Chain A
Amino acid sequence: MPKDTSIRSVLIIGSGPIIIGQACEFDYSGTQASRSLREEGIEVSLINSNPATIMTDEVTADNIYLWPLTIESLEKILKERQIDAVLPTMGGQTALNLAIEAEKTGIWKKYNVKMIGVDVEAIELAEDRDLFRHHVVKLGLTVAPSRIANSFLEGMEAAQEIGFPLVIRPSFTLGGTGGGFVHKREEFDESLRRGLDASPTHEVLVEKAVLGWKEFELELLRDKNDNVTIICTVENLDPMGIHTGDSITVAPAMTLSDTAYQRMRDQAILLMRSMGNFAGGCNVQFAMNPVNEDLIVVEINPRVSRSSALASKATGYPIAKIAAKLAIGYTLDELNNQITKTTSAFFEPSLDYVIVKMPRWNFEKFHGADPTLGLQMKSVGEVMAIGRSFLEALQKACQSLENNRAGLGADKKEWMRTEDILQRLETASDDRIFRIRDAIRLGVPVKTLHKLTHIDPWFLNQIKRMEDAESRLFRYNVAEDIPADFFRELKSMGYSDAQIAWTMRISEEEVTRRRKALGIIRSYKMVDTCAAEFEAQTPYYYSTFDGENESIVSDKKKIIVLGSGPNRIGQGIEFDYCCVHGLLAIKEAGYEAIMVNCNPETVSTDFDIADKLYFEPVYWEHLEEILDLEKPEGVIVQLGGQTALKLAELIHKKGIPIIGTSYDDMDIAEDRGRFSDLLRDLDIPYPKYGVARDTDEALVVANTVTYPVLVRPSYVLGGQRMRIVINDEELERHVLSIFKHLPDNKVLIDQFLERAKEAEIDGIYDGEQFHIMGIMEHIEPAGIHSGDSSAVLPTYSLSQNVVDQMAIYAERLAMALKIKGLINIQFAIKGETVYVIEANPRASRTTPFIAKAYKVPYLNIATMVMLGHKKLKDFSIAKNLKGYAIKVPVFSFNKFPHVDKSLGPEMKSTGEAIQFIDDLTDPFFRELDRNRYVYLTR
């Protein structure tokens, strides 16, 4: 019998708000699982407190519970709905922990619910370091020498026995929280104490650190018949010592012989089969001694994990989708490869390209945070890049990061001082790969680099090839001098035109012009799971400089949606939600929907959401060639956050229509000067402000505006480097720091409205009618970034007069900006006066929250309006909310023990939850309200 027919209704548990170590990859897996189960005619219920997820949308599941992830919520669901089985492996550690807790309280049994896709004993075995160690040894495999400690004394004893360097790993924590390396005796006490504190069971493992060993990860799938297949093998460029979430990783493995690999594969399979008998996904990590190829088992995750999302995007094999089918009883040989549709799902994908995953950090958001990388994950997002060689993929990944880099070096961001560079190599931090490149340029030998970083010489030698290429390029004076073959080779190595231009000190336009004249343009290859052995039906493409272009352009009218690149603070999962809905609406309107993005954690880059997917950097040079090839009717930039919006100007200049609000009108909203002029003309109050190009100007402006003032660089995201300052001295210091870090920028100085209330409106305008999606009132006073404030929908304390004024101003602005689609307007309210602080002519962080709270498909409506396919009057919009919905920010401060946790105008939260309350007497609301001034320290 192929599947368990007793399962007709399944509950999937989500992973809750985004935190470091548990991000939107679990929205991707949960969404895939839900769609996969619904395909089988199963009714899917979903619980998740994160409103920005696509999994909690009506397009994904049958019954949605935007409730806190607690036992009480589970029981409430089980009371009101017949649930046959619960699938807890799609929502990370959070979902697993909740399911295990529920198991212990007996509620699954009480309501006759089967846990599927998981084996509690396997989970506990994997999580309990000591049990796991013994288990591995019993199988005849090797682990690093270690001892368990439940007390300070035991920890000290263990350290004495094992010696330094060592690792402290707390049991039952997420993303390495509380763990760390201890290189010297002096660092030990504090680390041990932190580890013991972090563990809910006051237990740590003190383990020998195999620093510098090579690190590999295998992604496995197993079915109920114990058939196992390896979906992907990933090699960490950063060897043992850096959390895999913070490592640059590469697939397929680059430096692994078949003999070494097969031993690893055998061990991984042996391990998985030895851990209970669950059907689903699993991830095993190994360390390999580079000298004799000895293997050590590092850990096993018997569930879908962050790396499964990456492996799915890297290979095209949808792990969560298949894992969900295995959980309900299918075996792998009964299922088809979802990409070819004709071959078996029981196989091991073969790659004829290289992928590089690069983490994205946000240390600039956490003042005082230690940027050193280690056991504990610190990155907030990641990018993946695909190329036909390691170097091409590596450079594309650099172009995807949105750190203003044109690739790996060869741009104006290079470091020059050898001492600084070498110091950064020894202690790895977020910029290490760039420093390696700098060191090679300055002539540091690969041997030394290897000694400092332990990175495999193969990777270092590949990077060194860039140096050879650049010294050859250096010989030419103008673009016309570059021989065509060499030009093509440079492009195959991933060089952007900007890098070539910088190396030759000529203009980028000159390089691009010459390149196109030589006919050196990108071709597109398919990600097909099978290295072209079989014909694939899936339109999932990446660019390279190679012969044949496989991306056949259809004769349908096309709309391109630009994604938002890597997740970071201020721009995350909410834009993935928006893009998914945008794509679905575009299809519904009869166009071909094309997605462009480079974030492997997203649902919008799942191969069957858009009609066509280009997994490419959201970087102009790449985008331009997609536009040249596809010739779309237009591009939607409103759904991909600031990243997409930033590209509007170039798209517009190229003559490709921006769908929705025009580039010029968006620019009015973005440009502080033009925007203030508009507000003045519209008779809308706004805080006094000024623009300064240097410190002297800043002092003049600040004194005209009068202190306290809000200081920030123009064109930044999530309030980066935004401060409130109260006197000349502070102003000077901060303005200098802005110019140091962001040269060629302008500084905006706004009057800070002390003790004002803040509110925001999200709305849709179609040229005739303005619809207010929602008005939110912030609980905390002005001064805290809107992303970090708790927002109540609808308003709860503002007067009717104020609310009316906001609505009038919002409509006036939408009309004046000729908005076609979405707009978000932020207000400050002092007394009965309403000031407009800013307007964003795009989907905002709160758009999904409002759509969820009111149960209105706002993104569909907005996209239809942008396309001109429908008008607001064509929809009957019925808001459905009893009481209030509160958006609550969630922080990941525990990853940064020494960081300043006070909130201010710079956003620091990584995620959000939604909480519904009936009225203002609700204790949850009262608690928030009582603490509204607590965070305001300046």
Chain B
Amino acid sequence: MTTKEPKPAVLILANGSIYRGKAAGITGTTTGEICFNTGMTGYQEIFTDPSYFGQVMVTTNAHIGNYGIKNDDEESGKVQIAGLVCKNFTNEFSRAMADEDIQQYFEEQKIVCIHGVDTREIVREIRTLGAMNCIISSESDDIEQLKKQLAEVPDMSGLELSSKVSTLEPYDLGDPAADIKIAVMDYGTKRNILRNFVNRNCYCRVFPAKTSLAEINQFNPDAYFLSNGPGDPAAMDYAVNTVKEMLATGKPVFGICLGHQILALANGIDTYKMHHGHRGINHPVKNLVTGKCEITSQNHGFAVDAEQIENHADVEVTHVNLNDASIEGLRLKSKPAFSVQYHPEAAPGPHDAQYLFDQFVDLINQAKNN
């Protein structure tokens, strides 16, 4: 590798910072909101998580690509991140079970990557200044032109993105004869969520984000699931309204990440854009109901307002983040509905919170028995 002159690439942040490094993936230009993930494993799952749609990912782990790419490890049908920033892009991989190397994968998926930059400095900048847009280019070194292009990138606040990653047509998963039927609202769902339902013998129908409740109810589901996904939940009135209707049915509702935020909005609790969000697989969460703690996988740039929940008659906090006391989980007192901000399905990340899927199934069974 070192004998070949690597192609240069440049990264520009909205605050004007310029980082020069080497290009990988395809030659091109890409833009998006820059964010960082501190996970030391699971790069492929991160890249394919639809919640990252439109974002440029900085991976803090020193090497990326070491264990190659394995088709089964994808969390959606394609790479969702808008671009990658990393320290050492490592094309030579070692994993007997892998299917291909990361460069090949990025070429197929048309992903622009810059590596060999000081990712730690970039993270410190994001940590200090907050989330912002950026541009990566491996085809142009015209900084002024690139800056102009960067200025045109829309702000993540107020951006509705779910409909861009959601399935176009409903599809079914699992055993049609299963006792439990779940209607999954696909705001950008990760595959492992669906696997968790199927493994618990649930039959799922996955609906496009903007499907009306009337249409969903033709499936006659026992419960509703609100998936994770990208963008600003406050820009998703359509989803909030549908969820309000779902709650009115009295059937169980479970939300993850964006789904959690929508459940909060449907109960009149606001969401806000965080300074730079939580992205990683080491986030500490305390379950206030059991008193137990769990290490969680997280990926969110928006959160629900803690104060409004505290003053809400029908909503109680079930989980909090031990680092910054932000809201990690809630439930309704009067209805069988709950949600978490983090990712119990993991992929990547620890499996500490998978009990939540069991909890949902229990809730469904209870509701069915009543």
Q: Which residues of B contact A461 (CB under 8 A)?
A: 92, 94
Question: Which residues of chain A have C-beta atoms less than 8 A from B292's C-beta?
Answer: 225-227
Which residues of B from 104 to 124 have beta carbons under 8 Å from A?
A: 117-121, 123-124
> With A227-B292, A254-B63 as given contacts, are A468 and B3 in contact (CB-CB < 8 Å)?
yes
Q: Which of A460-511 contact B (CB under 8 A)?
A: 461-462, 465, 468-469, 471-472, 486, 489
Question: Is there an interface contact between B282 and A350, defined as CB atoms closer than 8 Å?
Answer: yes
Min C-beta distance of A335 to chain B, whole Å: 10
Among candidates A348, A389, A489, residue contacting B2 with C-beta atoms closer than 8 Å:
A489
* Contact (Cβ within 8 A) B119 A265: no
The reply to whether A262 and B350 form a contact with Cβ atoms under 8 Å apart is: yes
Give bound CA distance, A875 to B21, whole Å. 58
| B60 with A350: CB separation less than 8 A | yes
Distance in Å: Cβ of B87 to nearest Cβ of chain A: 6
Residues of A within 8 A of B347 (CB): 258
Q: Are A344 and B284 in contact (CB under 8 A)?
A: yes
In the complex the two chains form, is A257's CB within 8 Å of B67's CB?
yes
Asked whether B123 lies within 8 Å of A531 as measured between CB atoms, the reply is yes
In A548-565, which residues have CB < 8 Å from any B CB? 548, 550
> Is A752 in contact with chain B by the CB < 8 A criterion?
no
| Residue of B19, B40, B41, B284 with most chain A CB atoms under a 10 A cut-off | B40
B interface secondary structure, majority:
loop
Instruction: Find out whether the CB atom of A389 lies under 8 angstroms from the CB atom of B283.
Output: no
A258 with B66: CB separation less than 8 A: no
- Which interface residue of B36, B41, B42, B96 has the most chain A CB atoms within 10 A? B41
Binds B, one of A23-31, A285-293, A412-420: A285-293
Q: Would A252 and B323 count as touching, CB distance under 8 A? A: no
**How distant is A211 from chain B, measured CB to nearest CB, in Å?**
17
- A229 at interface by CB-CB < 8 Å: yes
Chain B residues positioned under 8 Å from A347 (CB to CB): 282-284, 295, 322-323
Q: Which of B2, B87, B120 contacts A548 (CB 8 A)?
A: B120
Q: Given the interface contacts A465-B1, A531-B38, A548-B121, does A458 sit within 8 Å of B62 by beta carbon?
A: no
| B97 in the interface (beta carbon within 8 A) | yes
Query: CB distance A389 to B87 under 8 Å?
Result: yes
Q: Are A255 and B66 in contact (CB under 8 A)?
A: yes
Query: Please, which residue of chain A has its CB at the minimum distance from the CB of B96?
Result: A291
- Contacts A262-B349, A546-B120, A547-B118; is A350 near B38 (CB within 8 Å)? yes
Contact check, B92 vs A458: say whether CB atoms are below 8 A apart: yes
Chain A residues contacting B2 (CB-CB under 8 Å) are 465, 468-469, 472, 486, 489
Give the chain B neighbours of A723 by CB distance below 8 A.
none
CA distance A416 to B10 in the complex (A): 43
Query: Please, which residues of chain A bring their CB within 8 A of the CB of B66?
Result: 254-255, 458
Contact with A along B326-350 (1 / 0, CB 8 A): 0000000000000000000011111
Kindly list chain B residues whose C-beta atoms are within 8 Å of the C-beta of A462: 92
Taking a contact as CB atoms closer than 8 A, the residue among A256, A292, A354 that contacts B97 in the complex is A292
Q: Which residues of A contact B1 (CB under 8 A)?
A: 465, 468
Q: A346-B284, A388-B87, A458-B66 are in contact. Are A352 and B61 (CB under 8 A)?
A: yes
Q: How far is the CA of A411 from the CA of B62 in the complex (A)?
A: 27
Chain B neighbourhood of A531, CB < 8 A: 36, 38, 60-61, 120, 123, 280
Q: Which of B62, B280, B322 contacts A346 (CB 8 A)?
A: B322
B349 CB contact (under 8 Å) in A258, A351, A489: A258
Contact B282 A262 (CB under 8 A): no
- Give A332 to B292 CA distance when docked, in angstroms: 10
| Residue count of chain B within 8 Å CB distance of chain A | 55
0/1 string, A325-342, CB within 8 A of B gives 1: 000000111000000001
Interchain nearest-CB distance for A448 vs B (Å): 16
Once the chains are docked, how many angstroms separate the CA of A102 from the CA of B172?
64
Whether A350 pairs with B40 at a CB distance below 8 angstroms is yes
A421-B39 Cα distance, complex, nearest whole Å: 39
From A261, A262, A458, contact of B94 by CB (8 A) = A458
B351 pairs with A262, CB closer than 8 A: yes
Report chain B residues within 8 Å CB of A535. Answer: 127
Question: Which chain A residue shows the least CB distance to B117?
Answer: A547
Choose from A254, A290, A389 the contact partner of B96 (Cβ within 8 Å). A290
- When distances are taken between beta carbons in the complex, the residues of chain B under 8 Å from A469 are 2
B73 within 8 A of A: yes
Most buried by A among B42, B70, B88: B88
Inside 8 A of B198's CB, which chain A residues have their CB? none
8 A Cβ contacts from B293-313 to A: 293, 295
Cβ of A266 < 8 Å from any Cβ of B? yes
Main SS at interface, chain A: loop
Contact (A227, B41) CB under 8 Å given A254-B66, A346-B284, A548-B118: no
> A532 with B92: in contact, given A255-B66, A266-B351, A351-B61 (CB under 8 Å)?
no
Closest to B93 in A: A458
Is the CB–CB distance between B123 and A532 below 8 Å?
Answer: yes
In the complex, the chain A residue whose C-beta lies closest to that of B322 is: A344
Residues of B contacting A225 with CB < 8 Å? 291-293
| CA–CA, A225 and B67, complex, Å | 36
Q: Is B120 in contact with A532, judged by CB distance below 8 angstroms?
A: yes
Q: A468-B2, A531-B60 are in contact. Are A255 and B322 (CB under 8 A)?
A: no
Which of A333, A349, A354 makes the CB contact (< 8 A) with B63?
A: A354
Q: Are A265 and B96 in contact (CB under 8 A)?
A: no
Least CB separation from B323: chain A residue = A343
Chain B nearest CB from A531 CB (Å) reads: 4
A532 lies within 8 A of B127 (CB): yes
Q: Which residues of B contact A254 (CB under 8 A)?
A: 63, 66
A255 touches B283 (CB 8 A): no
**Is A534 positioned at the interface, with any CB of B under 8 Å from its CB?**
yes
- List the A residue with the shortest CB-CB distance to B286: A333
User: Is the pair A252, B118 in contact by a Cβ cutoff of 8 Å?
Assistant: no
In this assembly, does A698 line the interface, its C-beta being within 8 Å of a C-beta of chain B?
no
CB distance from A809 to the nearest CB of B (A): 56
Q: Which of A629-662 contact B (CB under 8 A)?
A: none
Tell me the minimal C-beta distance from B6 to chain A in angstroms. 9
CA distance A530 to B127 in the complex (A): 12
Q: How far is the CA of A259 from the CA of B42 in the complex (A)?
A: 8
Report whether B41 and A257 are in contact in the complex, using a CB–CB cutoff of 8 Å. yes
Q: How far is the CB of A520 from chain B (nearest CB, A)?
A: 14
Measured CB to CB, the closest approach of chain A to B95, in angstroms, equals 6
Q: A292-B96, A389-B62 are in contact. Are A262 and B295 (CB under 8 A)?
A: no
* Shortest CB distance A347–B (Å): 5
Bound Cα distance from A349 to B60, whole angstroms: 12
Task: Return the chain A residue nearest B290 by Cβ.
Answer: A225
Q: Mark B115-142, 1 if CB is under 8 A from A, else 0.
A: 0011111011001000000000000000
- A456 contacts chain B at the CB level, 8 A cutoff: yes
Query: Taking CB as reference atom, which chain B residue is nearest A547?
Result: B118
- Which of chain B's residues have a CB closer than 8 A to the CB of A471? 3
A808 to chain B, nearest CB (A): 59
Determine whether the beta carbon of A348 is less than 8 Å from that of B60: no
A675 within 8 A of B: no
- Among the interface residues B36, B119, B282, B349, which one has the most CB atoms of the partner chain A within 10 A? B282
**How many angstroms between the C-alpha atoms of A388 and B120 in the bound complex?**
10
In the complex, chain B residues whose CB is within 8 Å of the CB of A256: 41, 67
Question: Which residues in A have their C-beta under 8 angstroms from that of B95?
Answer: 255, 257
Q: Say if the beta carbon of B222 comes within 8 Å of chain A.
A: no
Whether B45 sits at the interface, judged by CB under 8 Å, is yes
In the complex the two chains form, is A388's CB within 8 Å of B62's CB? yes
A-B contact pairs, 15 of them (CB 8 A): A230-B295, A233-B40, A255-B94, A259-B73, A293-B96, A332-B293, A347-B282, A347-B283, A347-B284, A352-B87, A532-B123, A533-B36, A546-B118, A547-B117, A547-B118
Q: A residues touching B (Cβ–Cβ < 8 Å)?
A: 225-227, 229-230, 233, 252-259, 261-262, 265-266, 290-293, 331-333, 342-344, 346-354, 388-390, 456-458, 461-462, 465, 468-469, 471-472, 486, 489, 525, 530-535, 546-548, 550
- What 8 additional pairs, Cβ within 8 angstroms, besides A258-B39, A343-B284, A348-B295? A252-B61, A257-B70, A291-B96, A344-B284, A389-B63, A458-B66, A461-B92, A534-B323
Kindly list the 10 A-B residue pairs having the minimum CB-CB distance in the complex, ordered from nearest: A258-B42, A547-B118, A458-B94, A344-B322, A258-B348, A531-B60, A548-B121, A348-B282, A258-B41, A350-B38
